[in-house]
Amino acid sequence: MTVALTESTGCYTALSKETGEELKLAMQRLWLTGQVTPFGARLLVEHTFESAERRPVEVVYGFMLPQDAALRSFRVTGEGFEVSSDLQPVDKAVSAYEEGIDMGSLSVLARQYADGMMNLTVGNLRPGEPVRVILEIVAGVERHDDGFRFRFPFTLAPAYHRQARVVSMPGAGEMELPPEEFGDLILPTWKKDSSNLHEVGFDVEVIGGQGLTTVSSPSHGIMAAGEGSERRVGMAVEADVPNRDLVLEAKAADPWQIAWASEGTISALLGSSRFGEPDEDSPRRVVFVIDRSGSMHGKPFEQALKAVEVGIAALRPDDHFSIVAFDNEIEALSKRLLEANDRNRQVARDFLAGLHTCGGTELAMGVRAGAKALGRDGGDLLLLTDGQVFGTAKILKTARKAKARIHALGIGSASQDRFLAQLGRETGGQSRFLTSRERVDMALLDLFAGISPAVATDVEVRLDGKTLTTADVHVGRPLLVTGEGSGPELEIGWAEGGFALPVVEAPKRLGKTLRLLDGAAKITEVESRISGDPVGEDAGVLESLSREYGLASRVMALVAVVKREADKPGELPMTKVVPVGMPQDVEMDAYFDQGVYGLGSAESVGSALGQGEILGALIESRRQAIDASPARATREDEPFYRKVLGLGRRPDEDFDVPTVAWEDVLMEDASRLEADGGMPGDSLADRIAASLDLLERLTDHGSTRTKGAFRHHVRRLLDFLGEADLDEEQRNRLEELEARVERVFHLP
């Protein structure tokens, strides 16, 4: 698709790359602006519509709301008019829209459904008439101790629902969800090729509140300007295609310690390292729950399996674990937890080696099986999934009943972080969401390393004598405080300590953003508990929150009707649904060619696994080399690597693996820790040498006892080496490593 400026309308028009002729698209452009902060975002999403059809059309655009998001309003602009929306109960909003359609007027309706799904419907769009609809949305962000990640849906992932009806056609697919659960929701057509669809882009402000070191994007090329606590971030190219979500990641110079006040609302963010360090000596009880559905196949799945293996290697003998793999069936390593001894570690490796992707995403089934393995004493579930499921309220209900904290890592190019954030929050766990082209293994291992006892319990935050919250603080997760009130400082106290934090005025241009974010989070929490249409008390609570904060919900919709000259009553428009691109790196076969359960063919699974054959050969060769000489793989390995990769020899240098990422090498090495915390070897001397070598490389890449994805491996290695009979040279080397860790990586 190319984009040209049409002189007659002054608007952008999509042209076919093959013929140069105008495409009959009903929506040409989606553009995102606004502000993104550590507390959330306030956004304007501009949709440009223009139809090349010969008669009026009704355009339906389906999308998913981001994490903790709600729609506040919209404006409709066109030639000679600008109209703002009204917030009304759904039945009244629908009636107003339908009356406008009957009168031939331009009518716009924004209505929310289950799972945060939205339909934006623009009716009676005349041929060649340019119309812009600008939505105002407030949305949450994923927060970390020293940064945050913002995600906005530029496309929509097809997802699994056992009652969905699926239609496959050449290069495209359609899906219909059960009306008893989703009402009259209209999903888009998914196109395999997104190059001829509407263009997308963004230009946003990132406001940190304290010094930001970087703002980056794993999803799009960006241009960033500014310094200190604020950045202006836009696309590095003029426009893009709707086949993946926008993801922005901001890093702060120090762990969060900010408190903002705005129009009677207080919002504060406190990094967990401000409260001390967790007690890591308590035995762990953890079940790794792995989504192996057809939509998961490919490199991320392979990396995830390796990360689970590496996580198990960090367990101590008195820890207990199991593994559950699910699609539309369950396969478990064991019915109950196993001791983390050497024998069970090897059993787990063999189990992981036999897993492959197929089937549908029965996520609730996986959660139930994981909770059953934990038993009455409970524990932690570490869930890996693309989260591509519909009907999430039922899954959340299952999760709440389980005596488990669920820590979810989502993978994908299209947003399901709304559901996964709820899953973590509702069970006392945490969540992260990656694009399909980020390293899954490091993120999963980091999430696993963060599963630990609270660093501080019953932390009380007070403002002007009033308690705003009492909560536990966990490693890696900043404490978020929101509430109404005013005062010069927050008082934070817990059994082991306390401090005061000055309250400062939020940037003026944010206006009511903090209050709106609080309202959107409350609406999201209520809606997460409702399966089917909201009725009775649930509907009443939602309507009350919508009216209090002026935000749409599943019981309150936004509508606008524009009366124009020459409107023709009774002329019904033809309906067109705006198509979207299949999410990047998601195969259509996983959803449409094989029907509702997403059963991947043997050929597609084999092809996906084949992507890792060369790396697998490299890793296996390195494993053999380390078995032969635990301290280091040396020049003797060079002929193999040169044969596989066509590498030339580097004269007079020790041979290393220049084409294999350091993460891959460390993952492989760390997976081989034995139950006593040391590396394997033919003798104790070999084991000590290999353990010192791995410890040095782990610290070289930023892991310490309390920081980094490999922090538990560092602790295990230090414990092993601390009890081993080291010679003087080895003891000096160990002391140097411990001193360097404290000097370079110690957190304040």
pLDDT digits (tens, 9 = 90+) for 541-566: 999 999 999 999 999 999 999 999 88
Report the alpha-carbon distance of residue 573 to residue 339 in Å, rounded.
66
Percent of the chain residues topping a pLDDT of 90: 61
pLDDT classification of 593: cutoffs 50, 70, 90: low
- Domain residues of the chain, as ranges? 286-435, 613-745
- What are the φ/ψ torsions at residue 658 (nearest 5 degrees)? -70, -20
Q: Place 22 in a pLDDT band, splitting at 50, 70 and 90.
A: very low
Query: pLDDT band for position 64 (50/70/90)?
Result: very high
Report how far residue 439's alpha carbon sits from residue 377's, in angstroms, rounded to the nearest whole number.
33
Question: Per DSSP, which regions of 412-478 are E strands?
Answer: 431-434, 456-463, 466-473
Task: For the chain, give the mean pLDDT.
Answer: 85
The residues facing 125 across adjacent strands are 57
Residue 155 has pLDDT above 80, yes or no: yes
User: Who has greater pLDDT, 14 or 285?
Assistant: 285
Residues 171-200 have a mean pLDDT of 91
Q: How many CA atoms lie within 13 A of 457 on its CB side?
A: 5
159, 385 in Cβ contact below 8 A? no
Q: Where are the alpha helices (DSSP H) in 646-746?
A: 662-670, 684-700, 711-723, 728-745
Ranges 15-29, 221-235, 390-404: which has the least confidence: 15-29
3-state DSSP helix/strand/coil % of the chain, to nearest 5:
30, 30, 40
Res 698: pLDDT = 93
**By the 8 A CB rule, do 451 and 249 touch?**
no
Give the burial class of 460: count Cβ atoms within 10 A of its Cβ; 0-12 exposed, 13-18 middle, 19 or more buried.
middle
**What are the Cα distances from residue 106, in Å, to 100, 130, 357, 408?**
7, 12, 47, 43
Residue-wise pLDDT for 315-351, tens only, equals: 999 999 999 999 989 999 999 999 999 999 999 999 9
CB 87 within 8 A of CB 558: yes
State the DSSP H helix or E strand holding residue 19, giving kind and residue range, or none if neither: none
pLDDT tier at 608 (50, 70, 90 boundaries)? very low
Please write the tens of the pLDDT for every residue from 490-512: 999 999 999 999 999 999 889 99
Q: And the tokens for 638?
A: 């060079």
Q: What are the C-alpha distances in Å from 704 to residues 239, 585, 695, 700, 738? A: 42, 34, 9, 10, 9
> Taking 60 as the threshold, does the pLDDT of residue 16 lie above it?
no
- Alpha-helical runs (H) found in 646-710: 662-670, 684-700
| 381 touches 354 (CB < 8 A) | no
Residue 689's pLDDT is 95
What CATH class is the domain 286-435? alpha beta
